[in-house]
Structures are given as structure tokens and as C-alpha cells.
Structure 1
Amino acid sequence: MQDTVNPRKVPSIMFQGTGSGVGKSLITAGFCRLLRQRGLRVAPFKSQNMALNAGVTAHGLEMGRAQILQAEAAGIAPDVRMNPILLKPQGQSCSQLVRMGKVAGTCSAREYYTLSRENLAIATAAYDSLCTEYDIIVLEGAGSPAEINLQGTDIVNMRMARHAGARVFVVGDIDRGGVFAWLKGTYDLVPADARPLIHGFLINKFRGDVSLLQPGIEMFADLVPVPVHGVLPWLRLSLEEEDSQDLASDRGKAGATVHVGVVRLPHISNFSDFAPLKAMEEVRLSYLEQPSQLAECDLVIVPGSKHSLHDLEFLRRSGFAAALQEYVGTVPIMGICGGLQMLGQHLEDPQGVEGLAGGAAGLGLLPLTTVMAREKTLRRGSWAGAGRWQGQALSGYEMHVGQSRIHSDVEQLCTDDLCLWDGSRRVFGTYLHGIFENAANLRLLAGLLRLPLPIVDYQSEKERQLDLLAHTIAEHCDIDAMLEGLL
């Protein structure tokens, strides 16, 4: 596959990694905020994202949540050009392919790599379009550029860096151990003609006395002719995670008065819904892996899923279904999106939209039936409250393929059947993602669920954390050296 070069040389830097989960996404967000603070018009870009954390733009298009966060850090509206290719795994080694915010179909891994030429053309066109509007672009890679079996079909690491003419900085996670081996191994396995693109390394998630690491950095300089430009400390942040492998329960919240448990589904999606809860000192958030953990919770949430039928079967096989039935009426139970569908009476996928065609009885906690459809609902906005929430408004976004039909009386708290409540069972279901993100929604939920949830606006906390991230990067990295001669 022939490499292309961006004809308009807009300055660009790129963060690649020694692997997934090393912190590329947040460092990219932090750099976007830092450059914005310096008065630059900056935009993020990731040509291909594989993630089940996605959001909806103001134009009703779908893109990765990590790039939405990075756009917010840059102070601009999220735009699908910043994430032109999105892959959403849905089991059976297949993924849903989203191009420029719209579903283009499903494909296996092998099928996807046969599309690399046309996907690269889509990605480079999106990138070139952004270049006409911004002073600098901050790119993010995916996985590792050292995945030698994928280098021939790469559209997100070195091939994209070459097109952009970007300075590449490789991020390693020292918290996992062996960071120098990871960094040198990555450098050695990158194609020789791509190594000149690497301008430096960043060591991330360091704990302890950095002076003890300095001798290692000096020895590393004798092995690799590229400098380490910074050692970033481990930070406790509640900003959205890109990968489900990074999900972790809260630890050390001594002042927490509310314990929220989220069932850890095999195909959990849109877990960014819970970032606001993690930011609250009064709330302890746990990802539940055993039914016995339900006994500790003040609120149990069945989250979104990219394969609802498979995860419904998991709930039964694991014992969670029986345990949830046992706690009905004593602990409030909430289902969000796919979780709402699983709490219903029946779930059908006759066309195999999420995998193999089929159907199954739901948990029977809400009187609705859901049928999967190929057309995805994508909407962001505000909806009027109904019933006891009459006169109120809820904000968030919808992103689902199922259409649900209500069978019998249940309290509807929002227009478009988006929020349902069974008061006798204390079961709440909603299609709204982002429901914990603003104070108005939280006030309604706290009253309904009779829980002392703090009434806060997550956006202001997110802004504080982005500023902290930018400050930390500026303090612990040699920014002048990284940007020298670029701007």
C-alpha cells in the first residue's frame, strides 16, 4: 500500500505507544489543552479507533469518546473527521465498522484488513480537511507500531505519521514494569525507514522518586539514539477510559456514602457513562464480577452492551440474573441502553445485527420487548420529562440498534419512552447515555432512587482535570524541546 503525504504541511505531533492502555489518549488530550492554553487552534486526530466507548456529535454522528474528550480539551466541538474510522467489537471475531460517523457494516478482522487501502483514503482525506482549519494537529496512534504482522496494513501509526509529517513520541507505561525493554523493543521493531519519525519517548505513570530512575534514562540513551523527553507521574483521574481493559473499581474513598455497582458484562460498552460517578468523592464505584457483590451496593446498574443477547446469557450463566431477581424491591436496579433491553421481557435479533440471529427471554423486570434493527438510533439533545418529572428536562444522547415496545403500564418519566420506572420494584431503565453528567439529571435521579447522590456538574470537574493534566505535562516534559522548530 503506497504511502501518501499531506500536501499542506500543518505542524503536527503524534503520540504512539508501546501497547494499548499506556496512556496515549489522555496524553493527547493533555497536549491539546496545553497547546490551546498557548493560544493555538488545535485539533485531535485518530484515524482508526477500536473501542466500545463512543458518543454522538451534535450532527447525530458517532465517534470515539476518547476523541470527543480530546476535542473538549482543545475547546472545539467534536467532529467525526477527528475519528474517521471506528471499529466496535461485537463478538465472534467481528466488529461493526463506522466510517465518518455512520455504520458501514460488519466485518471480520481478516475482512477489515482487506479494506485498509480505502480506509486509509478516508482517513487521510479527513485529516487533510482538518488541516485547512487548525494551526496544529495532535495525532494519536493505536496499539503499538511494533506489531510487525500489521505493519503492511497499518492506517493509524507510522503510515499516518508519514502522511502528516508528524513528530512521533512513543509512550511507555512504567507502572506495568519493563518500560525500557518496551521502549527499545518498539524502536527496534519499527521499520528502519520509519525510525527517523520518532523524536522522543515519554515514560508514563511513574510512582516514587524520579531521581532513582535517572541512571536508567542515561543508560538508555547509550542504547537508543532518541531522548526521553519526560517522566509523567501517576495521576488519579476520572476522565473517560478508552479501553474496557482499563476499567477499575474505586479504591481509597474513605468518605463515600453511596456504593454503586456496575455489572462487568463481557461486552460492556459506553462505560464512559460512569466517569462522573468515579469523579464524586461521595460515591464508590465498583465493577461487579461476582453476584455476591450485589449485597454491598446501594444501586446496581446493568450497563450498555455491544452484544446484548450474549451478555443476557452471561447474566444467567454467572448467577447475576437470579441475584438481581432476589434484590428486586430492596435495592434500586438501573438498566442503561443494552441493560434496559436485558431487563425487559424479551429480546430478539432476527437479522443477526449484533452477531448470530436469535432471541431470548429477558430478566422480566420491565414490561417491554426489544427487537434489534439494522438502522442505528443516534441522537443528542434534551428531552422533556413526563409523569413525576413533568416540567423538567433531561439531557444526554441515544445510541442503540434496538427498538423497544412497552406492553403494559409502567411509569414513563420522559418523552419518547426514554426513561421507565417501576416504583414497586424500584427498577429504572433508560436509553439515555450521559445521564450522570449534569446536575439537573442527578437531582431527578437522586429523588427517584432515594439516594444521596451529589448534585454536581461533571463538565466543570472534567475541565479541572484537563487543566491539571496539561499542567502536569508542562511540568514534567521538556515541551520546548518537543516543539522546537515546529511552530
Structure 2
Amino acid sequence: MKRCVMVQGTASDVGKSVLVAGLCRIFAQDGHRCAPFKSQNMALNSGITANGEEMGRAQIFQAEAAGIEPDVRMNPVLLKPTSDSKAQVVLMGKVACNMDAVTYHQYKPQLQQQIGEVYHSLASEYDVMVLEGAGSPAEINLRDRDIVNMGMAAIANAPVLLVADIDRGGVFAAIYGTLALLHPEEKARVKGVIINKFRGDISLLQSGLAQIEALTGVPVLGVMPWLNIDLEDEDGVALQNGKYGQVARGDALEIAVIQLPHIANFTDFNALAVQPDVGLRYVSHPAALAGADLIILPGSKNTLGDLQWLQQSGLAASLQAQHQAGVPIVGICGGYQMLGKQIIDGVESGVAQMAGLGLLDVETQFAQQKVTTQVAATCQPVLPGILAGCAGQPVAGYEIHMGATRLGAEAVPFARVTERNGEPDGAFDGAVNRAGNVIGSYIHGLFDSGPFCRALLNDLRLRKGLPPYDGPVFNYADHKQRQFDILAASMREHIDIPRLYRIIDQHQQEVAK
């Protein structure tokens, strides 16, 4: 029996993903080879493995916390919503089909055996597995076909920790109600409770902790404080909750990211948000673009739908006005496609074609085949405008898109790809207008490349009449590793980790009998 533990929650966005990353870090620090696992992830934040397979970014950053390479087996099922009722289904890193919610619910039993085989295959290579649930195990309308909460706990035969978010209020009711709705055999799996995101004096909580333990018979293993750390969020719930609002740091540069209804991979811009001279905000109203030194149009899971939204919301007209005023604009993936003159579809929505924003002389045609690849590239040796200082800089990231973009006479390539999934390449990526103030690229994670990012920001500073920032180049990869260590140290301080080890070992012994 493999040592394992599963983290489930009383609701979505209670902090499961972050706590799983912290446990992975702790186990790795303690000398155990550890891996994360989430059977089914619903998110528009995804990444690409070294084999060109797509998986949720939450499991990617959890793997980083564990000090291992991401493996698609850590997230065998990824659901990428395309509307309120439909999603693209990605199985083992490849697109399988599009399904509505009812059809997918009926399909889940067919996935159960495959998920079990994938889990046990991965678990055979590690000392400890840390599993993550989704939403709540008390979703009684979905219990009969559950493959991600107690259903997955049964497949892995894992003890469960229940996480509750005190910041949203009603924490004791959430804990009690969740446990009350579980079947007896499900509740028996819950070996401990963690209360997350606490602010205030812990002494005021003590009587409540004693009462909830008496009422449920489940011990509270710890109360995690609210942590101001920079870690990736699993999905757009963080944006909806206003986590990424105006950032005030006494900054010289203001960067506005347009918060599209189907925004994908907004973690692309975390590396910008932590720069010492940047204030980054997400905007959804035309007036909020005022004062920006750079505007970013991000990726989208529904490019044409979000392009229509830009038109209807007035943001398209505002983008045009900002462009006329000389404000630089960057588009990533779907945002790059929207910046062009035209998008020819027939795949995504059934619409034959749609006019783009017309800020780049490019045209995109969607295709059935989805591009999923890690890439390394080098910026062109000569670039105009705000990219002048970026010429020749290396960049790296990954591509996830359906479609190819053709450049017209008024656009020049942004970069030349040197590698795709480790194999030599020589194709061009992206486009830049002749003035050098509108840029498009298919490379997600572009700003994680420190020297490129700093060169771009310094060019923006010069444009604003400010001297270049002369501090050290910010290393985002090192920054993330420091955040994992801060998280692990806080969890060791506020959660009874020795007791958790005893829970894992005792459960393993009971199963072995």
C-alpha cells in the first residue's frame, strides 16, 4: 500500500491546491520522493509537459514544489470550459472531444478504471502521493459518479484531510455540514480538518475548535493564517474574487490586463506582477485602461466569443483609442489572434469568419489540430519600438492553440523558435507592427524569461521618460522556489505535521492488515 493523503475541501477556492503544494514541499524536504495527483481538473489555466501533453497548471506548480518534472499522469482529466454548459475534455494530455455537463456526467463511469490505472502507475514510482479533490465531497447530486473526491479516495484508499476557508465566513457550519452529508464509510476516511486563511487572534477561535471536534469526532490539525505569498491560482475564481486588483507598490509602470470572460492562463502575468517597478491590474471596463503604460490582451478559450465581448463592452473602441495615443499593446495566444485583421473559423464556433481589431497585419485560420508544445525561442536580432532592447534575447514557454497565423506586409516576426519539445526548429513566432508598439506571440510564460522581461520594462520606462531600472534581473523561477519554502515553513508552524505523518502511517498499516 502506497503512503498517501488526500486534500478535499468544503467548497471551491478554499486553498486546496496551495496546501497540496505545501505538503509536496514538506515531504520533499523530509527526503521523500513525492508527487501530486488530481484525477479531474476544471480550469482554463493549463500548461505543457516536456512530451507536449496538456495538464492543469495547479499540478504543474505542485510538481515544482515537490522538485520533480510535471507528468500528465498527475492530471489525467482536464476540463476546459468553453461556455456555461460545455467544456473541452482533455484526456491524458490530448483533446478527446467537447461535451456538455450532462453528457460528461454520464461518461464519468467509463473514466473510473482508466483513472485508477493512471494513479497506480504514477504512485508506483513515488514514496508519497498527495491527492487533491475538487469542489466539495458533499455535492450529493454528483456522488453516484464521483471520480474526484471520495470516489477517488476509495480508488487510492487514501485518508482525507478536509480544508475549510474561514475568510468566507461560516467555517464551522461548512465543516459540520460537509461531514454530516457524507456516508459513514466516507466520513471514516476524514482523519483531520485544516482551517485555512485565518486573520486575527487565534485565542478567539479555541472554543470553536474544541466544539467542532466534539461535534464531529474529527480532530482539527491546524489553523493556517492568511499568507501573502505569490503562488499560481488554479483557475479564474481568484480573478472573480478580486484577488488580482490594483497592485500598489509605488510603481513607475502601470500594466493593464484585459479580463476576458473566458480568459485562459492568466498566470502568464504573475512574473510581471512581482517585478519591483510594476503595478499590474485586471480590467473589464473601458475607462480602466486610462493611465496604462502597457495593455495586455491575454489568451482565451473562446476567442471569437471574447472578441465579440470586446466590441460590445466598448473595450475594443477603447483599445483603438489607446493605440492611437501610442500606448503599447501585447497579445498572447488568443489575444494575439484578436489583434489581427481577420479570424477564419469553422472549428471553434461555426462562424465562418470575423474581423479582428486590426492592430496587427496578420490573419488567423483555426484548425482542428491543437498545438501543444514547449518552446524555446530567440527574439529577432532587430526589433522596432519598445522591443528594441529585447533584440536577440532568449525566451521560453509553451504553446496551446488551435490555428495558424499568417503575417502581412506590415508585420515582422517577433521571434524565431529554436526548439519544440526539445527538438530543433526554425519557425517564426508572433508578429510586431512596423512602429513596434503592437506585439503578438503564441508563447505562454513569455514574461517568466527574466532578461527579456527586464529589457521590455526598461524600454517602457524610457518611453515614459524614466531611467532604466538598474537593480538585478528578477529571477521568477527562484522567486517561486522561495515562495514554496515560505509556504512549507508556515504549514510546519501552524499544522501538526508529525501527527499527519502518524495518520498516514496508521492508515497504511490498517489497509495492509
- After TM superposition, the score normalised by the length of structure 2 is 0.90
Following TM superposition, by how much is the alpha carbon of 1:391 offset from its aligned partner in structure 2, in angstroms?
4.0
Moved more, 378-387 or 63-72: 378-387
Gaps of 5+ in 2: 383-389, 417-426, 463-467, 506-513
Aligned partner of 2:446 in structure 1 is 435
2:369 aligned to which of 369, 375, 393: 375
Aligned partner of 2:424 in structure 1 is none
Following TM superposition, by how much is the alpha carbon of 1:445 offset from its aligned partner in structure 2, in angstroms?
2.5
Runs of 4+ that moved beyond 4 A: 447-454
1:393 aligned to 2:394?
yes
SS at match of 2:368: strand
Separation in structure 2 between the aligned mates of residue 281 and residue 209 of structure 1, nearest angstrom = 32
After superposition, the C-alpha distances for 1:230-261 in whole angstroms (9 at most, x for unaligned) are 10000112211112011222456332221111
Aligned partner of 2:511 in structure 1 is none
Aligned partner of 2:81 in structure 1 is 89
2:327 aligned to which of 317, 325, 331: 331
2:244 aligned to which of 242, 249, 252: 249
Q: Give identity over the alignment, percent.
A: 47
Separation in structure 1 between the aligned mates of residue 8 and residue 79 of structure 2, nearest angstrom = 18
SS at match of 1:169: strand
SS at match of 2:366: strand
Aligned partner of 1:214 in structure 2 is 206
2:345 aligned to which of 343, 346, 349: 349
Separation in structure 2 between the aligned mates of residue 358 and residue 234 of structure 1, nearest angstrom = 49
**Residue type of the alignment partner of 1:145:** P
2:489 aligned to which of 468, 471, 477: 471
Following TM superposition, by how much is the alpha carbon of 1:160 offset from its aligned partner in structure 2, in angstroms?
0.7
Following TM superposition, by how much is the alpha carbon of 1:447 offset from its aligned partner in structure 2, in angstroms?
5.1
Separation in structure 2 between the aligned mates of residue 356 and residue 92 of structure 1, nearest angstrom = 18
Checking the alignment, whether the CA contact within 8 Å between 1:438 and 1:456 is kept in structure 2 is no
Checking the alignment, whether the CA contact within 8 Å between 1:383 and 1:414 is kept in structure 2 is yes
Aligned partner of 2:353 in structure 1 is 359
Separation in structure 1 between the aligned mates of residue 138 and residue 12 of structure 2, nearest angstrom = 12
After superposition, the C-alpha distances for 1:80-120 in whole angstroms (9 at most, x for unaligned) are 00000000001151111111111111111111112112222
Checking the alignment, whether the CA contact within 8 Å between 2:133 and 2:149 is kept in structure 1 is yes
SS at match of 1:486: helix
Separation in structure 2 between the aligned mates of residue 298 and residue 391 of structure 1, nearest angstrom = 23
Checking the alignment, whether the CA contact within 8 Å between 1:367 and 1:407 is kept in structure 2 is yes
Aligned partner of 1:3 in structure 2 is none
CA gap 1:234/1:485 in 2 versus in 1, 3 angstroms:
closer
After superposition, the C-alpha distances for 1:257-303 in whole angstroms (9 at most, x for unaligned) are 21111111000001110111222342211110211011121111110
Separation in structure 2 between the aligned mates of residue 483 and residue 364 of structure 1, nearest angstrom = 58
SS at match of 1:63: strand
Separation in structure 2 between the aligned mates of residue 308 and residue 73 of structure 1, nearest angstrom = 32
Aligned partner of 1:5 in structure 2 is none
Checking the alignment, whether the CA contact within 8 Å between 1:395 and 1:441 is kept in structure 2 is no
SS at match of 1:105: strand
Provide the aligned C-alpha RMSD in A: 1.6
Following TM superposition, by how much is the alpha carbon of 1:164 offset from its aligned partner in structure 2, in angstroms?
1.0
1:418 aligned to 2:429?
yes
Moved more, 32-41 or 448-457: 448-457
SS at match of 1:148: coil
Separation in structure 1 between the aligned mates of residue 353 and residue 411 of structure 2, nearest angstrom = 23
Aligned residues, how many? 477
Separation in structure 2 between the aligned mates of residue 358 and residue 240 of structure 1, nearest angstrom = 36
Following TM superposition, by how much is the alpha carbon of 1:440 offset from its aligned partner in structure 2, in angstroms?
2.6
Checking the alignment, whether the CA contact within 8 Å between 1:261 and 1:294 is kept in structure 2 is yes
1:234 aligned to which of 201, 226, 235: 226
**Residue type of the alignment partner of 1:431:** Y
Aligned partner of 2:52 in structure 1 is 60
Following TM superposition, by how much is the alpha carbon of 1:483 offset from its aligned partner in structure 2, in angstroms?
1.5
Moved more, 89-98 or 307-316: 89-98
After superposition, the C-alpha distances for 1:112-140 in whole angstroms (9 at most, x for unaligned) are 11211222222111110012110010000
1:38 aligned to which of 30, 45, 70: 30
- After TM superposition, the score normalised by the length of structure 1 is 0.95
CA gap 1:280/1:443 in 2 versus in 1, 3 angstroms:
closer
**Where do 1:58-457 residues align within 5 Å?**
58-91=50-83, 93-247=85-239, 248-250=243-245, 253-328=248-323, 329-351=325-347, 353=348, 355-388=349-382, 391-415=392-416, 416-424=427-435, 426-446=437-457, 449-450=460-461, 455-457=473-475
Separation in structure 2 between the aligned mates of residue 443 and residue 203 of structure 1, nearest angstrom = 39
